[in-house]
Amino acid sequence: MSNYDAIVIGAGHNGLVTAAYLAKAGRKVLVLERRAVIGGIAATEEIFPGFKYSTCAHLASGFAGEVSADLDLKKHGLELLPLDPLLFAPNLSGEPLTISRDPRKAADDIGRHSKNDGSKYAAFCARLKTIAGFLRTLYGLTLPDKASPGEFNPLEFLKIGLKFHGLGDKEGYEFLRILPMSMADLLHEWFDNDLLKASLAASSMLGSFVGPRQQGTAFNSLHHQIGASNGALRSAGLVRGGIGQLAAALAHAAQQHGAVIRTNAEVGKVLTKQSAASAVVMANGEEIAATTVVSSADVKRTFLDLVEPTYLDPHFLLQVQNIRGRGTVAKINLALDGLPKFPRQESQAQLGGIIHIGPTIDYLERAADDAKYGRYSKNPFLEITIPSISDPTLAPAGKHVMSVWMQSAPYSLRESNWHDQREALGDAVVHLIDEYAPGFKNSILHRQVLTPLDLEQTYGLTGGHPYHAEMALDQIFFMRPVPGWARYRTPIDNLYLCGAGTHPGGGITGLPGYYAAKEVLKDLKRGKR
């Protein structure tokens, strides 16, 4: 039987981050990935000949700079492509909105719709940048939990207190005020134009089951700005070669330090010995021993499928079962014969960033309501990228790949099922884009539709939720994944978590994997657990 210092379950980007740090520290590491490709939801696949897709996640949403530097990911082939413009929002009833990367030009862009909004945009961006920066500081706090009550250092709170004091009275007040607000209410305080407000509110719906009028959605929007934020839009960029190149760079970094990565290697069970994880059993019956097991799978899959429940406290299991992780997104990948053309679009360069379809906050709210009541929205919010504009290697010459993140597709349909509705959903999305860009449907060469059920079955996401659990105020910080277990340890000794269902949550940040690795190494150094 093989024996390792650490086994990492899942080669998603967080699992690979953890594996790379453990291997870099001199540990013997094995990564086991169920699929044939690495990356989890951050994978690039050639679904159709010549067309390479970021099949699920399509943006590197503020990937942690310290992780990239520590692991020297540029040397391993990672190249981020900044979005420019940041956003293009077509409009059926008027001029589209373009928000440039350059803040001054962005203010001019917005001023074409509302001079008042254009004049306020820079101040709004500065305010959110400060608050998102402080949120990022909070994410680095060593959180207390009952797994290690004697290890929490009160000085951590003092550090945060000093940082909070450094914000100043005004910004400190704004942080406390804004965090529980609805994004709609926050935007109404600043701006007049509906298209602008909807464009800025859209990120507040990601990873959530609610619309932008729900309390707490301002926090969700801030969460997506914790990276190298540009203005008031989510920190995001494309990856040259597709987002799977991020996973490839992480894998190369881990392998450079001796980590072994196996694909087509499904873990069937985590074995325990004297209440401590001691090995994994593969789906084919192979047993592999390890001093430490780290799961990047979602929390429900880890504890309800991989671990024998007799080793877990019933109250803990109830907490796990009660984690809200209801998927609300679908992913549509398209191969195109050419680029779409939107009315009043001035150039193809306008399509190089994020394309938003969602003209008003009312529109976004109605789409969320559809999902809430068990229907997929026929007028959903769409987040679209055409990465082949900035990276032509993704498609044959003259052709393009389009990635569509469709919000408001519930995991459970009230009156039907996803096997029957998959293609109908794809038709609805194509029809909507065609409404905004007439003739678009005629340019489609191939189409892939991934429903929330597909996300569950293909990527192992319980409930089809890409963040493993909703990003809500009662499921963050020391309450993520469940109260009392925020520091990546679990009730089973030597078993840790490192996925998006842990602190600080979802997005392609690498932070859960990074913080988890620090805790694992701390315990291994002490000879603990």
- Going by pLDDT thresholds of 50, 70 and 90, the confidence category of residue 136 is confident
- Going by pLDDT thresholds of 50, 70 and 90, the confidence category of residue 157 is low
58-79 as b/e: b if 16+ CB within 10 A: bbbbbbbeebbeebebeebebe
- Going by pLDDT thresholds of 50, 70 and 90, the confidence category of residue 395 is very high
- Going by pLDDT thresholds of 50, 70 and 90, the confidence category of residue 172 is confident
Identify the residue with better confidence: 51 or 64: 51
Q: Decide yes or no: CATH 1.10.3720.10 for domain 2-78+242-324+460-526.
A: no
> Residue 417 has what pLDDT?
96
Q: Which residues, including other chains, have CB under 8 Å from residue 101's CB and lie 6 or more apart?
A: 82, 83, 84, 85, 86, 230, 353
Question: 25 by DSSP, 3-state: which?
Answer: coil
Neighbours of 179 (CB within 10 A): 15
| Cα–Cα dist 495/488, whole Å | 9
Residue 231 in this model has a pLDDT that exceeds 70: no
> Residue 247 has what pLDDT?
98
Residue 147 in this model has a pLDDT that exceeds 60: no
Cis peptide before 504 (omega within 30 of 0): yes
| Cα–Cα dist 247/490, whole Å | 26
Q: Environment class of residue 240 by beta-carbon count within 10 Å: exposed (0-12), middle (13-18) or buried (19+)? A: middle
| Cα–Cα dist 445/422, whole Å | 18
Residue 322 in this model has a pLDDT that exceeds 60: yes
Identify the residue with better confidence: 145 or 246: 246
Q: Which residues, including other chains, have CB under 8 Å from residue 263's CB and lie 6 or more apart?
A: 11, 33, 35, 36, 37, 38
Residue 90 per-residue DSSP state: -
- Going by pLDDT thresholds of 50, 70 and 90, the confidence category of residue 173 is confident
Pairing of strands 260-262, 267-273: unpaired
Token pair of 182 as six digits:
């609805």
Pairing of strands 2-9, 287-295: parallel
> What is the 3 state secondary structure string of 378-417?
CCCCEEEECHHHCCHHHCCCCCEEEEEEEECCCCCCCCCC
Residue 163 in this model has a pLDDT that exceeds 80: no
Chain segment 45-59, per-residue pLDDT in tens: 999 999 999 999 999
Q: What residues does 39 pair with on adjacent strands? A: 12
Q: Which residues, including other chains, have CB under 8 Å from residue 526's CB and lie 6 or more apart?
A: none
Token pair of 102 as six digits:
């350059």
Residue with tokens 């963050």: 476
Q: Which residues, including other chains, have CB under 8 Å from residue 139's CB and lie 6 or more apart?
A: 226, 503, 504, 511
> Residue 104 has what pLDDT?
86
Rounded to two decimals, what is the model's pTM? Answer: 0.94
Chain segment 236-264, per-residue pLDDT in tens: 789 999 999 999 999 999 999 999 999 99
Residue 135 in this model has a pLDDT that exceeds 60: yes
Does an H or E element contain 511, and which? helix 511-526
Identify the residue with better confidence: 83 or 434: 434
Residue ranges covered by each domain of the chain: 2-78+242-324+460-526
Chain segment 344-382, per-residue pLDDT in tens: 999 999 999 999 999 999 999 999 999 999 999 999 999
Instruction: Give the closest residue to 292 by CA, choosing from 33, 12, 30.
Output: 30
Asked which of 86-90, 160-164, 345-349 is least confident by mean pLDDT, the reply is 160-164
Chain segment 96-106, per-residue pLDDT in tens: 999 998 888 99
Question: 491 by DSSP, 3-state: which?
Answer: coil
Residue 1 in this model has a pLDDT that exceeds 70: no
Average pLDDT over residues 63-73: 94
